[in-house]
Structure 1
């Protein structure tokens, strides 16, 4: 029954995507990116003689987890080609020109025919799925062809079907993996309980990634000029609920600077931010003024970031970092990108599914707030109590540094098991 329902889902999903694509740009990109994808793959791989490492990520967040492993494998095995695939447009559209991958494509929708055809064309010698991607027919095809398959930075929870009485179909997918690298001992314990023991508790490769970024800081045009030596709050990956909690504080503190990076940068969302933040200018408009030798209007204290890809570097300019998602949706976004710069991190109340949020609060490097009043109180305390600020900032940075090393564990396994030719 599980396989039947899965097959129905994978067949209906593209149909719904096409219908949704008539009025949703993201869905339209999902459909367009898969148009004639096998023809393009066939042409690209026709002359490829190198061993191929296939890395699959759901979206941009999983790409950031997989990136340090891809780059380490590319460096240690330069004779190999890297094939990077995405399921979501939010990953592919941003990273389709990623320099460390030889090929970047959307993953064709899962089916027996597509999976067999994809592997026949690309001929991978090693496959890495990042975090929680489980595509039944691709996994079965990899096992049938005996291609080593690793799950990197895996995260398992008791609520998932793998651990339920009705989850036999999902459990069958786990048997396709050669090895699991999971983030926590709890995840390893869940797998062990159902008889899966080919597991290493490696931690999360995102820690390695954010440490790489922080060790190679890059200047962002116009940001220092905008900050002007004043206290700076960088609010990253905000949703409407986050902005509605923040706007009063932002609008009533003209002597500070605020950089707002919405999770969605569609025009409607940007206009919403402009309505909430009364003294704001978009980053693109601000840069245009600077290029003309002009400055923003007097009283402007808020910069709305209207591009994707610079948030992880924006946090370096912050006095305090706020990370969105905690007042709505599924929970907080990537708090490690902020904490790695030894900055205090503040977020909303929805964070319990994110182990790094729980641990960083316990370590004293982050604050969770339930509403706008407590949010403003947290900001005021951090700005007025220097000892508290220093302790929180130090704890945040030390927490990230203490979690490094997951990438090295994956690389060591690949080398010890001789999964790639030297």
Structure 2
């Protein structure tokens, strides 16, 4: 498939795209708002001539935040436009930056929508987080001489095989990228095999290691646990869970309560549209359950607190003694293991970590990550760490050591971005 055929199929599929949008709006009403932006219609006022950063959703927005802050500090005269594709990503961007950045949804990957969007913002540089590859957006940038960077790029062997099936589409697209800043050497080679120019691929590491924790966040978490009277309660978190995992986690929690009757679980579904159903699941299973969004005080009888707020995940991690990271007991590929590690938490996950193979291998090798297969192993792992504080401390220290050993990726990425911005300035673009 080449780009012309891809574009034709995209146009033919627009009714299905619209139906999917309606279905998502039924589950999460925020999808019904700002639909015009998805077609580059009704865009907010945008000052042109700056840096455009695309972060598809919440995880990418969080990963991009340190880079965006540094770009704002190093290039204060350039407006920064941050785009995403989901309402939760939009909420996160606005919570992180407010009016310090420009923000809208990224239009769909249609040539006329991409052209209209780029003609409005006319960026000097485009930065796409991780592996969100849109052939028409990239081609429209290339036509205008706008360098495009794939930042913090990752490409599993499985994804590479998928892209290889559409080589006539993906190879020209990758060849148009100015810089692919990849996390590992193995991923660099995969990008080159798919058609990226050898000189455009650089191994910079993962910027997720360059996570810094605000001491005020830890102090706030300590204060809230004190307010709850839960300083000595066994408290664990299961975060970024997907459908099919919550039942396993609640089964594990029931086992833990048999040994630790005061145990408290913070359960954080990955997607907001599942908040209500997870609360209902917990209550139907017989757990005394509160919702974080109601701000009700946790008391000695509370067994589960559902984290149904946006932008609080780091804070909720900080409240807990032990962290389980979801998307891993089901074949979703896992989520960011480094956030709880950076907060000094022993980290557990399921076996499905194909989105974080390198990071999980390093954490596992250092003794900072314990993988579990089911509810029994999860309950056993959490219970053992509660009973053995020395083992928990070794996991904490190991996780912090892995982060420290791998930091510097953000600075290497920023150096590459600065070089491209300087080249654009010298060319007068």
Q: Which residue of 2 aligns with 1:239?
A: 242
Do the aligned residues in 1 keep the contact of 2:171 with 2:196 (CA within 8 Å)? no
Equivalent position of 2:284 in the other structure: 275
Q: Does 1:343 align with 2:341?
A: no
Instruction: Give RMSD over aligned pairs.
Output: 2.6
Picking from 263, 269, 274, the partner of 1:262 is 269
SS of the equivalent of 1:44 reads coil
Change (3 A) 1:99 1:7: same
| Residue 402 of structure 1, CA deviation | 1.8
Gaps of 5+ in 2: none
- Out of 199, 202, 207, the position equivalent to 2:201 is 199
User: SS of the counterpart of 1:24?
Assistant: helix
Shift of 1:190: 1.9
Deviation of the 1:386 alpha carbon: 2.9
Distance (whole Å) between structure 1 residues aligned to residue 392 and residue 113 of structure 2: 54
The two structures have a TM-score, normalised by structure 2, of 0.87
| 1:86 correspondence with 2:84 | yes
CA separation in 2, counterparts of 1:184 and 1:311? 27
Q: CA deviation at 1:381?
A: 1.8
- Contact map agreement 2:164 2:170 (CA 8 A) in 1: no
| Distance verdict in 2 for CA 1:199–1:391, change over 3 Å | same
* Deviations 1:118-144 (CA, angstroms, capped at 9, x unpaired): 111111111101111111111111111
Task: Please report how far the alpha carbon of residue 3 of structure 1 lies from its aligned counterpart in structure 2 after TM superposition.
Answer: 2.6
After TM superposition, give the deviation of residue 215 of structure 1 in Å: 8.1
Q: 1 CA distance for matches of 2:215 and 2:356?
A: 22
**What is the CA–CA distance in structure 2 between the aligned matches of 1:165 and 1:265, rounded to whole Å?**
34
1:123 corresponds to 2:122: yes
* Cα deviation 1:29-65 (Å, max 9, x = unaligned): 4453232664533x613xx3x6311001111111122
CA shift for structure 1 position 170: 0.7
User: Does the aligned pair in 1 maintain the 2:36–2:42 contact within 8 Å?
Assistant: no
Q: Distance in 2 between matches of 1:11 and 1:421?
A: 36
Q: Across the two proteins, how many residue pairs are aligned to each other?
A: 410
Find the aligned partners of 1:196 and 1:304 in 2 and give their Cα distance: 47
The 3 A distance-change label for structure 1 pair 265 and 113 is closer
Quote the Cα distance in structure 1 between the aligned partners of 2:213 and 2:141.
32
In 2, Cα distance between the equivalents of 1:34 and 1:40? 9
> Is the contact made by 1:279 and 1:299 (CA closer than 8 Å) also made in structure 2?
yes
Deviation digits for residues 344-386 of structure 1 (CA, Å, limit 9, x no counterpart): 1011121134121222111110100111111122112212223
Query: Do the aligned partners of 2:28 and 2:272 also contact (CA within 8 Å) in 1?
Result: no
- How far apart are the structure 2 equivalents of 1:225 and 1:158? 48
Unpaired runs of 5+ in structure 1? none
Q: Which has the higher helix share?
A: 2
- Assess if the C-alpha contact under 8 Å between 1:74 and 1:100 holds in 2: no
| Displacement after TM superposition at 1:81 (Å) | 0.3
Q: Which deviates further from its counterpart, 268-277 or 301-310?
A: 268-277
SS state at 2:42 partner: helix
Residue aligning to 2:64: 66
Quote the Cα distance in structure 2 between the aligned partners of 1:332 and 1:20.
Answer: 24
Counterparts in 2 of 1:224-235, with a 5 A limit? Answer: 224-226=226-228, 227-235=230-238
Contact 1:243 1:276 in 2 (8 A): no
The 1:303/1:12 distance shift into structure 2, 3 A limit, reads: farther
Q: Secondary structure at the match of 1:104?
A: strand
Seen in structure 2, the aligned counterparts of structure 1 residues 13 and 229 have a Cα distance that, compared at 3 Å, is farther
What is the alpha-carbon distance in structure 2 between the residues aligned to residue 13 and residue 174 of structure 1?
24
Among 372, 392, 397, which residue is 1:394 paired with? 397
Inter-CA distance 240–218: structure 2 relative to 1 (3 Å threshold): farther
**Correspondence 1:145 to 2:144:** yes
8 Å contact kept, 1:34–1:108: no
Residues 9 and 344 of structure 1, relative CA distance in 2, 3 Å threshold: farther
SS for the counterpart of 2:126 is strand
Deviation at 1:421, TM superposition (A): 5.5
Matching of residues 273-312 of structure 1 within 5 Å: 273-276=282-285, 278-285=287-294, 287-288=295-296, 290=297, 296=299, 299-312=301-314
In 2, Cα distance between the equivalents of 1:120 and 1:265?
34
Secondary structure at the aligned position of 2:267 is classed as strand
